[in-house]
Amino acid sequence: MDITWLGHSAVKIQGSKTLYIDPFLTGNPAASATPDEISEADVVIVTHHHGDHLGDAFAICKKTGATLVGIHEVAVDAESEGITAEGMNIGGTVEVEGVKVHMVIAHHSAEKGNAAGVVVEMDGKTIYHAGDTGLSYDLKLIGEYFNPDLSFIPIGDRYTMGVPSATKAVEFIQTKKVIPVHYDTFPIVSADPEEFKKRVGDLAEVVILKPGESHSL
């Protein structure tokens, strides 16, 4: 399975199926791809209705025929535009194309519905995308229940966790590997991933990627 960070919180997961999570590409100065370059997708997952996460999700689904998975209100909007969508809510699970998506709590706002995180099970691996969230004990429960192999954790501060609180989150989640996201897209969310890696230490393997780089899981 290949994991590619596309910049900000956008990721591509390529295994038996092709998944995109929070594909904010248009208007993203850190994006390593454009929607025009995406020709294949099976599932597009949106953690919450903010422009830097919903991004190009609808356009990618229309182009590729992918199924959109998101909070109920986002799914309703997608269906109104002719997109095949699976709406869900926090605590629920849906299965699409053999991929299980669990929606978990995130402490953040959203323009429609609630903000959430997602846990994806595919090809025997469990991947947690925290979306935008602050530090809470809910992260500990997510770790205990799902035991993720890899987690995407925001470190950019201001709208999400910063480096110190994201480090505590890694301790709670007990993830085997972690990729920091949601930083350096704009000056307002600048952060040092090397400092994050140093603070995490032996808690987990920190994989620092540049936009467009991939990691094999």
Residue 84 corresponds to which amino acid?
T
Q: What is the pLDDT of residue 133?
A: 98
Q: Give the pTM.
A: 0.98
**H or E element that contains 142:** helix 138-146
pLDDT in tens, the chain (217 residues): 999 999 999 999 999 999 999 999 999 999 999 999 999 999 999 999 999 999 999 999 999 999 999 999 999 999 999 999 999 999 999 999 999 999 999 999 999 999 999 999 999 999 999 999 999 999 999 999 999 999 999 999 999 999 999 999 999 999 999 999 999 999 999 999 999 999 999 999 999 999 999 999 9
Question: Which amino acid makes up residue 69?
Answer: V
Tell me what pLDDT residue 198 has. Answer: 98
Phi, psi (rounded to 5 degrees) for 11:
-135, 150
List, in order of start, the domains of the chain with CATH numbers.
2-216 (3.60.15.10)
**DSSP tally for the chain: helices H, then strands E:** 6, 14
Closest by Cα among 118, 122, 134 to 53: 118
Q: State both tokens at 137.
A: 């004990």
